[in-house]
Amino acid sequence: MTLVHIDGRLIVGGPSVTDPIDRSKGFQIALVSYHENLAALIQYQASQEYHWITSTFMFPYKEDLVRFDFEVDPEDEEMYQFLPLATR
């Protein structure tokens, strides 16, 4: 699968190249999204883009789906400056 990068805030990639492969627990596709704050995440989750991505890459595999949302402390945000956010 090729890397999909939409609007500077979403990356979908796979298959896993983890070695040994059993370390990836069978997961083959990862979706990583970056948002300015929790309100922006909620707004994104209501978007057509999000619904297309999840129905294409996540829900067909939902029996093995893991979702992990987290916030980055403001003092650690400089570690994420390599990714452009849509609001910047």
Task: For the chain, give every domain's residue range.
Answer: 4-66
Q: In Å, how far are 4, 6, 23, 68 from 12, measured between CA atoms?
A: 5, 9, 19, 15
The predicted pLDDT at position 80 comes to 65
SS (H, E, C) 11-50: EEECCCCCCCHHHHCCCCCEEEECCCCHHHHHHHHCCHHH
Please tell me the number of Cα atoms within 13 Å of 72 on its side-chain side: 14
> pTM for the whole thing?
0.62
The predicted pLDDT at position 7 comes to 59
Low-confidence ranges of the chain (pLDDT < 50): 2-3, 85-88
Coil, strand or helix: which one is 4?
Answer: strand
**Cβ contacts of residue 32 below 8 Å, gap of 6+?**
10, 11, 12, 13
The predicted pLDDT at position 30 comes to 81
The predicted pLDDT at position 1 comes to 56
